[in-house]
Amino acid sequence: MIEDFLKKEKAEIDHLLDVYFEMLNNSEHEILLQDFFSQLQEFILNEQAKRIHPILMIAAFIGIVNPQFLDEQLDQIRKVSLAVELLHSGYLIHDDLIDEDRVRRGKPTFHAQLENELKTLYKNSALQNKEGLIVEYGRYLSILGGSQTYLLGLDIIKQSKFPDNLKLLAINEYNAAMDSLLKGQIIEEYMNYHNITMSLEQYLHIAELQRASLLEKSAKIGAIMAKGNKHYQIQPLSEAMLRIGQAYAIRDDILDMEADVKSKAKKAIYILAVQNTDEEQSRVLNEAYRKDELNKSDVKQVLEIFAETNAIIVAEHFSKNLVSQAKSYLKDIYPDLNKEQKQFFNQFADFIYMRDL
């Protein structure tokens, strides 16, 4: 059931994004901004994008709204759901820039895409420091572009046809999501550059800020627009989504474990491992993570220590426990979600834990 719903709503969202960017370009008279929005459109309209955040908003709305209003409001909530997709995209633009990633979803990251465009333009140019200018262009336009994308999402909520009081509540949640994303990034970069190894509690807090908050706010905005009860519907749904988001982060770390070791990123598996290492294992880990670059033997040694300390198994159990907590909160929703959406959110919790992408 969940695969059908995800596929159907992704197709709807992809279509609405096409329509949105066509409208955005037609309403913009400045030709340079038209070109910029075309670049943004190319980055966001990636077939590999899952559209999880807008789909969660739509699912929460359908689950709570009075059925007699669903048909007339479904198109509107789909349009509003683009807001959280743009917020997520703005964050990815900034995150890829900070991490110096070159590929996202099988295509160039936004700053790499902009650099490639300027490389083509400068191909036959004899400019001095051409490469430096290209890198600067990608960096500066990505800083501005990520911020502009946040504002585009905010404007979608403001321009929607929902009542003003609901839009104001939704905007507050949207701003809170953006605040969480930025604070999570600030904390993570601060710890990285000060060489601070985070505790498991700090890891979960950052996971909540960077991953879980946007999942939670996406569903919460959908529930708000559906006029859900704050204490008995919206609150337990929010608590469930926060735990699903943390499970999502841990699952990502398990799937990306080898890549994280190669980049010396100290994610969930590393944190759990160092809590259970003996003296020799601790020495090996410390030496490996102090190297400028890890070779195949180093990576193999670190992965073996992760296995010997049961860090991977503990992470799996931890993720599974968070999913169980999420399902308990879903049971607390009253009046309950409609049957299909109740099934969707429970399956979504399992989907996060079981996925192997």
Which residues of the chain have a pLDDT value below 50?
Answer: 357
Q: Which two tokens stand for residue 215?
A: 């999942």
The DSSP-derived string for 202-267 is HHHHHHIIIIIHHHHHHHHHHHHHTT--IIIIIHHHHHHHHHHHHHHHHHHHHHTHHHHHHTT---
User: Can you tell me whether residue 108 is helix, strand or coil?
Assistant: strand
| Backbone φ and ψ of 234, nearest 5° | -70, -45
* Sign, CA torsion 196/201/207/210: negative
Choose among 244, 206, 220: nearest CA to 328. 244
Give the C-alpha separation, 101 to 112, whole Å. Answer: 8
- Amino acid sitting at position 307: A
Q: Which of 319, 327, 320 has the alpha carbon at shortest distance from 345? A: 327
User: Rounded to whole angstroms, how far apart are CA atoms 187 and 177?
Assistant: 15
pLDDT score, position 291 = 93
CA angle 258/262/265 to nearest 5° reads: 90
Helix (H/G/I), strand (E/B), else coil: 337: coil
Where do we find the tokens 């909520």? 157
d(CA 229, CA 216): 16
Instruction: Report pLDDT for 357.
Output: 36
Q: pLDDT tens-digit profile of 276-320?
A: 999 999 999 999 999 999 999 999 999 999 999 999 999 999 999
Cα–chain center distance at 256: 15
Please state, in angstroms and rounded to a whole number, the distance separating the CA atoms of residues 300 and 303.
Answer: 5
- Domains contained in the chain, CATH given: 1-188 (1.10.600.10), 229-352 (1.10.600.10)
If phi over 0 gives left and psi between -120 and 50 gives alpha, with beta otherwise, what is residue 263?
A: alpha
The pLDDT assigned to 202 comes to 94
| Cα 181 to Cα 117: distance, rounded to the nearest angstrom | 29
DSSP, collapsed to helix, strand or coil, labels residue 93 as helix
Tokens of 256: 């990306």
Displacement of CA 1 from its chain's centroid (Å): 23
Whether the model clears a pTM of 0.85, i.e. scores above it, the answer is yes
C-alpha to C-alpha distance for 14 and 20, rounded to whole angstroms? 10
Closest CA to 58 of 121, 3, 127, 10: 10
Record the tokens describing residue 243, joined without a space: 């735990």
Residue 31 phi, psi (nearest 5): -65, -30
Residue count (the chain): 357
What is the spatial distance between Cα 20 and Cα 54, in angstroms, rounded to a whole number?
Answer: 14
Closest CA to 119 of 108, 109, 130: 130
Nearest to 1 by CA among 329, 351, 240, 333: 351
